[in-house]
Amino acid sequence: MPIKYKRNESKVIARSKVLIDGLPNRYYSVFLWSDRAAMMAAFPNDIQEHDNTDAFCCHGLIVFGQPNNQGPVRIRTARRVGEIHFLTGKWDMEVVAHECFHATMHICEIMAVEPMRHIEMQEIAAYLHGEMVDKIYRWLWQVESKNNKKHPA
């Protein structure tokens, strides 16, 4: 019987779900950590090359189904499409936008949106990205304000 790894999230200040327009019942989990070492320890195999990072994005698994006879390959994902992690006091608009860009590209892959091919698809990606940045930035600001932390931006 396989052993399921349970990461230590005791240093997580807050977490939130950011729903994704265009993907019903799908979301990114967003975490705000109080401690860099704890954040890194929670991902021992995933982010070792970024051992001094203040934020990162990790994607969920995409399963490509067998193509049916009348259409493209079906794509299945878990409800949680991925995660974005931030370190308290170490984020600003640029950091949030950067991590959300990674998430947006992952969402585009799931939705089969190819922003580099068509201007209409660029619009889809741009709206997804803008909405995600807005939601996460406002959430981080609200959490940091409640915790009386000096906000970085």
The DSSP code for 52 is T
Tell me the backbone φ, ψ of residue 76, rounded to 5 degrees: -120, 145
Cα 149 to Cα 145: distance, rounded to the nearest angstrom: 6
CB 136 within 8 A of CB 84: yes
3-state secondary structure of 81: strand
Residue 152 has pLDDT above 70, yes or no: no
Residue 3 has pLDDT above 70, yes or no: no
pLDDT range class, residue 4, cuts 50, 70, 90: low
The alpha carbon of 64 is separated from its chain's Cα centroid by a whole number of angstroms, namely 20
Task: Using a pLDDT cut of 90, give the percent of the chain over it.
Answer: 37
Greater model confidence, 17 or 66: 17
Report in angstroms the alpha-carbon separations of 107 from 35, 90, 100, 101: 28, 25, 10, 10
Q: Give me the pLDDT at residue 127, please.
A: 92
The DSSP code for 5 is P
β-pair type (27-33, 55-59): unpaired
The number of residues making up the chain comes to 153
